[in-house]
Structure 1
């Protein structure tokens, strides 16, 4: 289709501003090849900005574009070189729809990236439009704008996820708690790994941060105190409850081991029967003890009653756990009332939750800070769950940067 009317129709179908189709060729083993060029007769020198229409030479090459149905489409671009009339040096015209040294158009890259976000690199590459190397290059090209410093950041959440479970390979996750959006991911969670990233945001951004929600790790606290002079460190209430639940669960396991040992050593049928009753009460009791009491299902309520009946110590610890949780759940609790109630709870619980009581003492200011604005890292946990899903589906990502770009792009395209 090389008639004037035909090329006009093809230009409209191609729909790239400032570009016209001059010829179309169909290659059975390849697809559709469209010869295209700019509609403008001149271009601006990138050195001095002078407009020039003095053609120096033509430079043609192929790039991939969006497919037409099942047909692959290639654009044979004529990126002309002009001779600058002022500085006398040749320069190539700028074409907005394709980046320099790239074998695909910008709009194809956007489409491929969106496909990767809902699938993975290998599956998208198998469709035959682009290669895995081209996809990784697309992700790399998109990354600079995603790594810019945050704006309007008031509440920051810091947490981590395991890149490789069970191997101590962690990355730090930074979240804007006001918008529940991922800011960045950092390879590693040590202070010396996180600090350069925070410093790159600049003093203006760091000084405007008012609250930082963290888990109970001193390294994060030290970073905030060092770099964010106006920020209040807030201990995430859910991580505080994790401390309580972990100690309760450790006691459950200890009780069970002790009864199993006693049962194995005993030769009295009566004692063995007593131990069996206790073990029956302790079996499958983990979630009945740890889950919020009002959220228990009927079977779990029955299990909770059984374990309380056979193990008075666990019954007391469960009651203390619920009392502590209610301090945070009560919306009328202000910081002063919370301080008093937590102090009373510590006095009653030190016999049963010695480790948690010590942790609360060490982090009391940060725990009480929660009651000012009730800031939590709940949004961080939601983001972390999404990051874990991406990690499990991110087959084809060869290094951390590709995984990071994939994660950042997920929020970029969904904002």
Structure 2
């Protein structure tokens, strides 16, 4: 027989509002089972709000709770059914600590979600406290309030994408609050229709308060912003501009290398072959030093850069032009003159960076918009990197919806 003192201690340890322990049992292969009852003798009708004391019937079942040390803890609860004296219909009481039709307490779900956000579903499920299916249900329950939520005080929006499966051409759209560095939405695709549906769902009140939108160099994003956010300034992300410039620089590096290799094969004299091999040695393993910011190079890398420039005048000119453009984005205050001087219309840009030059011409207004507030998608890229880490551990998620929920909770779950 359980003493009153034991009951009081167990009730205090359980620490659930308006719930008392009436008995307990310990099973070697199962854990601790606590039989509980509500301290209240009444419940409130969810339809009319009438308080009812008329008990209709008992519904006892067992749910999982937070473990005690290494022991699993189960609660035998009684979700009583009352009969409303006004509606004349029965109703089940609402228990604050467990959702209806769930086999675990809310606090256990909260702890499991925290652990999943730091690991993955399979790792947590392997502890055998809850099953994989229960974890997925916990995540969906926690994300319900996110489905209909709208951004608050959104002023600067970032739109980008991330590959769902690398190399497969499948991308999902990512919408980010640039001021709070929070993921707002992750969508299963990046089509205009899907993104538009989400933006329209936010309502004109949210869309009209957006002042800037940072996008990559895709016309579809620009069209959406122009159509739905008339007060917002479109900003072409500076990093995507530099990515295109670097791509052309690296393409030229590869071409230079192939050209020299061909010359070595065709060399008719040993002196010529040695000369070409020296040039090839200078170009080899130069990708990193050419594409990385020159200010971030160490001494060994700076020496390699000098060697590359010495053997290839084309790569020298292209690298120096790339660095000048980067300096404009990073440091210049008198950007207007410099953009015209080094951007569109220059012989270097037209000759060595034809694709980038055409891009600058097409997106000139959006590119120079960056300099107003220096808005860029750097924070979006940071979020994308975290999403990639989540994706690597997403083998515990059976579909995109579970992955989406996992991503949103990483930024919005109230720990």
Instruction: Tell me if TM exceeds 0.5.
Output: yes
2:127 alignment counterpart: 127
Q: Distance in 2 between matches of 1:296 and 1:182?
A: 33
Return closer, same or farther for 1:358/1:12 CA change in 2, 3 Å cut-off: same
CA contact (8 A) 1:324 1:345 kept: no
Secondary structure at 1:294's aligned position in 2? helix
Residue 396 (structure 2) pairs with residue 396 (structure 1): yes
* Offset at residue 346 of structure 1 (A): 3.6
CA contact (8 A) 2:343 2:360 kept: no
> 1:70-107: CA deviations, max 9, x gaps?
11111111111111111111111110110000000000
Check the 8 A contact 1:308/1:315 in 2, yes or no.
yes
Counterpart contact for 2:158–2:377, Cα < 8 Å: yes
Aligned counterpart, 2:350: 350
Shift of 1:298: 1.2
Separation in 2, partners of 1:21, 1:244 = 69
SS at match of 1:395: helix
TM-score, normalization: structure 2? Answer: 0.97
Residue of structure 2 in register with 1:45 after alignment: 45
1:164 corresponding residue in structure 2: 165
The 5 A counterparts of 1:324-335 are 324-334=325-335
Contact in 1 for aligned 2:328/2:339 (Cα 8 Å): no
Whole-angstrom CA distance in 1 between matches of 2:3 and 2:92: 29
Confirm or deny: 8 A CA contact 2:343 2:349 kept in the other structure: no
* Matches of 2:334 and 2:130, distance apart in 1: 58
Summarize deviations over 1:297-328 as a string: whole Å, max 9, x none. Answer: 11111111111111111111111111111111
The alignment of Structure 1 onto Structure 2 pairs a total of residues equal to 414
What's the CA shift for 1:266?
2.5
Paired position in structure 2 for 1:244? 245
Conservation of the 8 A alpha-carbon contact between 1:43 and 1:53:
yes
Superposed displacement of residue 170, structure 1: 0.9
Which residue of 2 is the match for residue 32 of structure 1? Answer: 32
Q: Secondary structure at the match of 1:187?
A: coil
**96 and 331 in structure 1: CA distance in 2 versus 1, 3 angstrom threshold:** farther
Tell whether 2:59 aligns with 1:59.
Answer: yes
- CA, structure 1 residues 413+47, in 2 after alignment: closer, same or farther (shift >3 Å)? closer
| 1:339, distance to aligned residue in structure 2 (A) | 4.3
- TM-fit CA distance, 1:343: 4.4
Rate the CA distance shift 1:390–1:149 in 2: closer, same or farther, 3 A: same
Secondary structure, in 3 states, of the residue corresponding to 1:62? strand
**Cα-Cα RMSD:** 1.4
Alignment of 1:105-124 (within 5 A): 105-124=105-124
1:7-406 correspondence to structure 2 within 5 Å: 7-147=7-147, 148-334=149-335, 336-343=336-343, 346-406=346-406
Residue 338 of structure 1 contacts residue 371 of structure 1 at CA under 8 Å; is this kept in 2? Answer: no
Q: C-alpha separation between the residues in 1 aligned to 2:138 and 2:290?
A: 49
**1:21 to 1:414, Cα distance in 2 relative to 1, 3 A:** closer
Deviation at 1:344, TM superposition (A): 6.5
Cα distance in 2 for partners of 1:175, 1:140 equals 21
CA contact (8 A) 1:333 1:371 kept: no
Secondary structure at 2:164 match in 1:
strand
Shift, 1:112, TM fit: 0.3
Q: Distance in 1 between matches of 2:130 and 2:388?
A: 26
- How big is the shift at 1:342? 4.5
Cα deviation 1:160-199 (Å, max 9, x = unaligned)? 1111111011111111000111111101111122111111
Q: In 2, distance between residues paired with 1:116 and 1:333?
A: 49
How big is the shift at 1:365? 0.4
User: Residue 344 of structure 2 contacts residue 361 of structure 2 at CA under 8 Å; is this kept in 1?
Assistant: no
Residue 224 of structure 1: SS of its match in structure 2?
helix
Does the 8 Å contact 1:153/1:208 carry over to 2?
Answer: yes
The offset of 1:348, in angstroms, is 3.8
Distance in 2, Cα, partners of 1:241 & 1:277: 30
